Amino acid sequence: MKVCGIEISSNEAVVVVLEKTGDEIEMLNTSVKKITLSNDEKQSAINSFKNVILNFLKDNDVENVAIKQRAQSGKFSGGALSFKMEALIQLYEKEVKIINGSTINSKTKNLNLTKYKINKYQEEALKAALAIL
């Protein structure tokens, strides 16, 4: 099973794709690490982001998507742009789950994340993917 973990931050969707075979979990080395929405006021930019993210998921045969949830209100709430991006990702034809950060942390707290060769900014996307595996 292939899973894509996504953390939406500012105008970027940080992505990590994992594949689980039996008890083994392997991170796939994709050339794409971030997908950016350049201008949310232009329809062409919105369509471009949608096409890039959905094609990325299809091209990697992703079966499940896990998006780290952002607060909808309060001091650390996500901006309107991040919720637009989330909605576009939810158009994917397979299952897309929004997972609370505390759920992600509780499911991944005992896992060794250092075995995955990731950039520091990909850590939350990795944890989101691991949380649904």
Give CA–CA dist 52/57, Å, rounded. Answer: 9
75-80 contact pairs (CB < 8 A, 24+): 78/8, 79/10, 80/40
pLDDT at residue 13 in the model: 98
CB contact set of 2 (below 8 Å; sequence gap of 6+): 17, 18, 19, 20, 28, 60, 61, 62, 63, 64
Q: What is the largest CA-CA distance in the chain?
A: 44
At 38, which CATH number?
Answer: 3.30.420.10
User: How many structural domains are present in the chain?
Assistant: 1
Return the pLDDT at 4: 98
Q: What is the pLDDT along the chain (133 residues), one digit of tens a residue?
A: 999 999 999 899 999 999 999 999 999 999 999 999 999 999 999 999 999 999 999 999 999 999 999 877 777 667 889 999 999 999 999 999 999 999 999 999 999 898 998 999 999 999 999 999 9
Question: Which residues constitute the domain of residue 49?
Answer: 2-132
**What pLDDT is stored for residue 30 in this prediction?**
95
pLDDT of residue 74: 75
Token readout for 99 is: 């997972």
